[in-house]
Amino acid sequence: MTKTYKKFNAFDIINTLLMTIIICITLYPLLYVVAISFSSSEFVQANMVKIIPKGFNFGAYAEVMGNEFFWTAYKNTILYTVVGTSINLVFTCTLAFCLSRKELIFRDAISILVVLTMFFSGGLIPNFLLIKWLGMYNTIWAIVIPGAISTYNMIIVRTYMQGLPEEIFESVRIDGGNDLQIYLKIVLPLSKPVIATIGLFYAVGHWNSYFAPMIYFKDRALYPLQIILREMIVEQTFQDMAGDLAEAFGQSPPTSEMLISSSIVIALIPILCVYPFIQKYFVKGVMIGSLKG
Amino acid sequence: MNNKYWRKGLSIGLAVALMAGTLVGCGEKKDQKQPASEVKQEETKVEQKTEEKAPVEIEFMLLNNKGTDDKQFLAKKIFKDKFNVDAKFLLNTKDAHSEKLKLLIASNQLPDVVCPIIDENAKDIGPKGALVPVDEHFDKMPNFEKYMKEDKAVYTSCMASDEHIYFIPRFATDSVNFKQVPMIRKDLVEKYNLSMPETFDDLYDVLKTIKKEEPSIAGVINRNKINFLNTFGPYYNTDVGMYYNKEKDAWEFGPLHEGYKELLTTMNKMWKDELLDQDFFTASTQQWEEKMVNGAGVFTVDYGVRATNANEAYKKLHPEDKDFNWDLMMPLTTNTNKTKRLNVAQSVGTFTSWGISTNTKHLDRILEIVDYMFTDEATTLFQWGEKDVTYIEDGDKKKFASNIKASYNPEGTIEADNELGINNLNFMRVSKDDGVTMFAQPVADMFEQYKKDVELYENNYKINLTFTEEQQEKINNLNVNLNTMVTEMTVKFITGEKSLEEMDQFIQDLEKNGAKELEEIYTTSYKDYQQKLSNIK
């Protein structure tokens, strides 16, 4: 029995090398942030921290974790992501299923109306006034309802559903099933890869969202984590008149970099944990629509 | 067959529902037909008719530096006790405040009180009906009126183009707060037996000698990028754009005049000899801090407290080196400006003004609060909080209690400004210099010396001009080109990419692009300002 070895060709070597470089470039900022979060201030100030923490300590984490406000924001982010993504998936999939059925009347007209929203929007101020008049201002609904359906994602799902064999639907009808049963019992289970993919897109979108909450929330108790993080980062880099004055008056200095870094690390963990579990769907899902036969 | 009818029926039903929904959505609500001002007046009348102090909720949109909430704000308690007002503070940090403010102004949805609104902004939106003209209510605010009318120049500077006042500034009485001050590595100056520089030419010589001995130094360091012109400008009696020239009693466009040329010449000389940091125009605050601490920087212009921070950080890293010392120094003079001059924070904080929205339903109650903010009682309360709770008396000075963060309270954990809403520049309306210094002793001592020996330069000597809408539009248009030209050419002249011999051509180009026109607009407005000033009784 001779053992066979896989042969490496030039492509494999260059490919591996290139991927390693890309991984390093991608990974470095993350490692840097992690290293900063565990280092002490004097080493950070002197820019002596690269990827290994210096003056190792958990001080920044202790401070962040002791901040009640941070945890409220964390809880809010999870709530908005779960509720928002659920709403997104329910509405997107339902619309996509309807539009994927050829027998839907006014199908083309509805499709055009939906696609139009990709190209034209009402604008920030009319949207703001609408949200206010609808009574959604300063409520969770202001950020989960207006973007309930992303046309782009809906088209992806619709394309996937259109690709499902018509024969399956016919067999359900022969067995006495109606449209709702087709949707719930056949289409949705068969569409798991695409649902996982767009679910991830939606979830990451909600997780990272800061602009809509910043505009539509006036109570800080409703703020998601991203606003708090953004505030910390902008506060450190943004030098405006108020900042100048505060320093001239000897008032509190900006948030330390370790604090910002530790907050970023804590905020990253949940979304990083989600990836491995849906990776199998994700790889299938992103290929959707890439090949038509 | 049945199925077909069902579907048709459902589609028609949905179409009718959609149409009805659209009509309802697009139709005006009954109360929306009524102009906001009428509604406001009616409700104010009702409020007056009913009980004098019925509880009301008033929203304050407040810029707060840290992500904290208003639970512990002293103002909540005071406003409730004194005015039966449930104050709701909508706290935002810097950029969120400015983003939201723009949106709320554009959609006419301003909350009751905005703190702060920049004077320029208030002068623009006030006459358009967004803000209450506070001067029309002086009869209800005698304490505020007293402060406003104390200095005619201040009053005139606050006037909008329609001669009304739409904002409530902050007053810093008897206090001087230094902004960017020059600082140098004193240990290096002493090490090589050099004298402390008094002029920028002296500084050049000092840096050259140090560079000879220690070639790795970066020399003059900066974290303000091209905005270094704002901090270095007063030394040369110039500015990056329009500024008030006190000697000539005229408004000038800085780059057209002598001081600017001298500034570029000196900087260019330093750049050539590598005495100006090669990252001078690009360094971030972090990179600048690094150079402050690692010994590369020798001279910089920044906040005094930064010298203390750098010395402390260095000593933690190198406890064996006892000499390292960033120290504040007297301001340098130049050929154009022989006066020792330093930037100080505005004593009338127009940048941290309050604005009252015309949408408010509780104007009278807000006016009462505003007036109260200018009383002696409120001055102490909002600067220091409650005696023996948040502050204690130390001789004739006040100092924060030990649980509050301050340079003299190393164990303090509470931030007075962000967590308690006291000593918050955007909120308190009067601040007094009645506290123990917040700065380390060497910095505090130097500040005292500055107060005696230095001309205190408050932005344009407190003159804030007011422009008509047309003038403002013209200024904005001209500034687009001029700012780009000045920024680009300043860097090119300093780094030697352009020869200083081409300076005259540059000045001609600036004139062609409207620099003189800009000066004329400012001159017209300044005449208007002087006229208004003389009219005030």
Dihedral of the alpha carbons of B280, B282, B287, B291, in degrees to the nearest 10: -10
- Among B99, B177, B136, residue whose Cα is nearest residue B345: B177
CB atoms within 10 A of CB B206: 22
Average pLDDT of every residue of chain A = 85
Beta strands across the sheet bearing B219-220: B219-220, B297-303, B180-185, B326-328
Could you list the beta-strand ranges (E) of A127-271.
none
Among the listed residues A64, A33, A60, the one whose alpha carbon sits nearest the alpha carbon of residue A49: A33
- How far apart CA B188 and CA B218 sit, in angstroms, is 13
What confidence category does residue A238 fall into, taking pLDDT thresholds of 50, 70 and 90?
very low
- Given a cut of 90, whether residue B464 has pLDDT beyond it is no
Scanning B478-517 for CB atoms below 8 A from A yields none
Q: What pLDDT shows up at residue B7?
A: 65
Tell me what the mean pLDDT of segment A221-246 comes to.
66
Contact A252 B418 (CB under 8 A): yes
Per-residue model confidence as pLDDT tens digits over B325-358 = 999 999 999 999 999 999 888 788 888 899 999 9
The model's pLDDT over A166-196, given as tens digits with 9 standing for 90+, comes to: 999 999 999 998 999 999 999 999 999 899 9
Per residue, what are the HEC states of A18-34?
HHHHHHHHHHHHHHHHH
Residue B171's SS3 state is strand
Q: What whole-number distance in Å separates Cα of residue A219 and Cα of residue A227?
A: 12
Write out the two tokens for A195: 């649902």
Q: What band does A66 get if pLDDT is binned at 50, 70 and 90? A: confident
At residue B144, the pLDDT reads: 96
Average pLDDT of chain B is 87
Q: How far is CA A55 from CA A39, A192, A259, A269, B251, in A?
A: 5, 47, 15, 23, 53
User: Which residue ranges form the domains of chain A, and what is each CATH number?
Assistant: 8-57 (no CATH), 58-286 (1.10.3720.10)
pLDDT number for residue A1: 53
pLDDT of A8 strictly over 50:
yes
Residue A49, chain B, CB below 8 Å: the answer is no
Backbone CA torsion sign across B199, B203, B206, B208: negative
Contact A240/B at CB under 8 A: yes
- DSSP E strands, B176-223: 180-185, 219-220
Chain A residues 241-280 within an 8 A CB cutoff of chain B: 241-255, 257
- Residues A242, B287: C-beta atoms closer than 8 Å: no
Q: How many other CB atoms are there within 10 angstroms of residue A130's CB atom?
A: 14
Task: Report pLDDT for B82.
Answer: 94
**Chains A–B, number of C-beta pairs less than 8 Å apart:** 136
CA distances from B431 to A156, A157, B373 (A): 60, 61, 11
Q: Is the pLDDT of residue B245 over 80?
A: yes
Helices B285-293, B304-317: axis angle to 10 degrees equals 60
Chain B 104-163, CB below 8 Å of chain A: which residues?
106-107, 109, 111, 116, 118
Chain A (54-113) residues lying within 8 Å, Cβ to Cβ, of chain B:
69, 105-106
What's the token pair of residue B61?
A: 């949109």
The amino acid occupying position A171 is: S
Q: Which residues of A touch B99 (CB under 8 A)?
A: 214-215
Subunit contact B177:A215, Cβ cutoff 8 A: no
Contacts A240 to B, Cβ<8 Å? 94
Identify the pLDDT of residue A289.
Answer: 53
**Prediction pTM value:** 0.77
- Per-residue pLDDT, averaged over A11-28, amounts to 93
Domain boundaries, chain B: 37-175+348-384, 180-234+254-343
By DSSP bridging, strand B168-173 and strand B348-356 are antiparallel
CATH architecture, domain B180-234+254-343: 3-Layer(aba) Sandwich (3.40)
pLDDT in tens, B103-144: 999 998 999 999 999 888 999 999 999 999 999 999 999 999
Q: B67 vs A237: CB contact, 8 Å cut-off?
A: no
Residues 6+ apart with CB under 8 A from B147: B171, B374, B430
Look-up of token digits 């939906």: A114
Q: What angle do helix axes B469-495 and B258-272 make, rounded to 10 degrees?
A: 30
Nearest alpha carbon to residue A257 among A47, A74, A31:
A47
Q: How far is B54 from chain A (nearest CA, A)?
A: 24
Q: Which amino acid is at B345?
A: A
Q: Does the structure show a pLDDT above 80 at B25?
A: no
* CA B177 from centroid of its chain's CA atoms: 13
C-beta of residue A265 within 8 angstroms of C-beta of residue A37: yes
Predicted confidence band of residue B93 (pLDDT cuts 50, 70, 90): confident
Q: Which CATH architecture has domain B37-175+348-384?
A: 3-Layer(aba) Sandwich (3.40)
Nearest CA of chain B to the CA of A46: how many Å? 4
Positive or negative torsion for Cα A190, A191, A197, A202: negative
The pLDDT confidence band at residue A242, using thresholds 50, 70 and 90, is: very low
Nearest of A14, A49, A78 to residue A209 by alpha carbon: A78
